[in-house]
Amino acid sequence: MKEITRRQFIQGLAAGAAGIGLSRVFHGLVPEAEAASDSAPEKAPASSSDFTLTVLGARGSSPVCRGDSMAFGGSTSCYMLRAGGETIFLDAGSGLLSAPAEYPKPPVFLLSHLHVDHILGLGMYSWLSKKEAETTIYVPAEDGDALQALDGLYSPPYWPLSLTAYGSTVQVLPHGFPLQIGEITVDGMKGCHPGGVWCFRIRFRGKTLVYASDFEHEEPYFSELIEFSRGADLILYDAQYTAEEYETKKGFGHSTAEKGLELLERSEAGQLLLIHHDPFLTDRQLLDREAQIGRDNVRFAREGEVISLSCTENDAVKETIAGNVKTYSRLNDGTWQCDDYIYQYRLEISGRMPNAAKDSTFVYLSNIEEISFEQAYRAAGISSDLNDYFAPEEAVLVEMN
């Protein structure tokens, strides 16, 4: 592979995050040719049905910059979601410095909590300085004074100015669930962590992602998280410690890969991305832990990787049935599709037609709960009266025996 600089690598990530035909998971370096130029504006996701997660920072507690940890990266918690033209950042750790320079729509931040490793990137986030830019930041703030929550760090003597004094329009709002951001729906659940934390369940066109960072697996929180994550396509889960390390770190507010696996299984979710890597963990150790788990759908997050949960038409079709009248498909959500119409029911209607020697069966996809045998055979082409036929949105004949 061609030698590339870290800067080019990050630019490549931004290009990937912008959705340049990326529907695969990639990890590692992006070839130079794919890297975006400094001035290239961000493009909207390739397709409006793309739902991508870009890991901008997966390190926990503190950023690190050591040669032995660069494969997984040293930037702290920041994950960028793009779907339906929206951009949502889950936390704003130092990984935010690799965020794109432009957005199709103003970005929205969901902060799980205000520990410094989760808000460290905001101070140098250049978007906030753009005059015409708009940003909304949702923060945990019980009393409604959301801005004050961030000013705890972003005000003198800790920082020269408040985030609202950067020149752009910044709205800081308290969490309120469910939250609707364009077509994206976000639900929240309180987790177990010193000072509190929010977990998020994010849905877009039938795909679901759960974010549970800085989460200690105490009861009843862990059981609640299992329900909260039920059937998710992807779970991001805090795995800062091994089960053995955890024994001496109880109450620190973090969990283990073992509990992550239990969560994955019990919630019947699709994939597990382990996050919030301990700052002292090396690439070698993380690779070893990953190999020990040895499962395709479980990984430790790598800074820069993009995971696509695209809900393309092909993805939504679970099974296509080549019927003897029309080809139709069963969709993941249990409905049926034929031509451009979606139907609630698949009805098999059997009976004997007048003067027939044996029974006939008609299969209709239908939005009508019940179709009588007489209706079924008349609408199958026997009747000369147009009133006997269904409108295409009502029902369609797909099989006949």
Instruction: List interacting residues with Zn ion (CB under 5 A).
Output: 60, 115, 117, 214
Shortest reach from residue 78's CB to Zn ion, in Å: 11
Nearest to 75 by CA among 304, 270, 359, 321: 304
Measured CA to CA, the distance from residue 339 to residue 375 in angstroms comes to 22
Shortest reach from residue 20's CB to Zn ion, in Å: 31
**Which of 214/305 has CB closer to Zn ion?**
214
Shortest reach from residue 194's CB to Zn ion, in Å: 7
3-state SS assignment for residue 335: coil
Compute CA 206 distance to the chain's CA centroid, rounded to the nearest angstrom. 11
Q: Where are the beta strands (DSSP E) in 140-215?
A: 169-174, 179-181, 184-191, 197-204, 207-212
Among all residues, whose Cβ is closest to Zn ion?
Answer: 115
Shortest reach from residue 396's CB to Zn ion, in Å: 53
How many CA atoms lie within 13 Å of 63's alpha carbon, on the beta-carbon side? 18
Residue 52 tokens read as: 């991508």
**Which of 245/313 has CB closer to Zn ion?**
245
* Contacts for 20 with CB less than 8 Å, ≥ 6 apart: 34, 43, 46
Measured CA to CA, the distance from residue 42 to residue 258 in angstroms comes to 38
**Which of 218/374 has CB closer to Zn ion?**
218
Is 308:50 a contact under the CB 8 Å cutoff? Answer: yes
- Report how far apart the first and last C-alpha atoms of the chain are (Å, whole number): 59
**Which of 117/399 has CB closer to Zn ion?**
117
Shortest reach from residue 91's CB to Zn ion, in Å: 8
**Which of 115/201 has CB closer to Zn ion?**
115
Nearest to 163 by CA among 146, 140, 142: 146
Shortest reach from residue 279's CB to Zn ion, in Å: 10
* Contacts for 35 with CB less than 8 Å, ≥ 6 apart: 4, 8, 9, 11, 12, 15
Measured CA to CA, the distance from residue 109 to residue 221 in angstroms comes to 24
**Which of 118/299 has CB closer to Zn ion?**
118
Shortest reach from residue 79's CB to Zn ion, in Å: 13
* Contacts for 251 with CB less than 8 Å, ≥ 6 apart: 194, 216
**Could you write out the DSSP letters of every residue in 57-79?**
E-B-SS----GGGTTT-S-BSEE
**Which of 42/214 has CB closer to Zn ion?**
214
* Contacts for 155 with CB less than 8 Å, ≥ 6 apart: 161, 162
Report which DSSP code applies to 312.
-
**Which of 49/69 has CB closer to Zn ion?**
69
Q: Phi/psi at 69 (nearest 5 deg)?
A: -135, 15
Q: Where are the beta strands (DSSP E) in 205-297?
A: 207-212, 234-238, 271-275
Shortest reach from residue 44's CB to Zn ion, in Å: 31
**Which of 87/240 has CB closer to Zn ion?**
240
Residue 236 tokens read as: 């991001």
**Which of 117/305 has CB closer to Zn ion?**
117
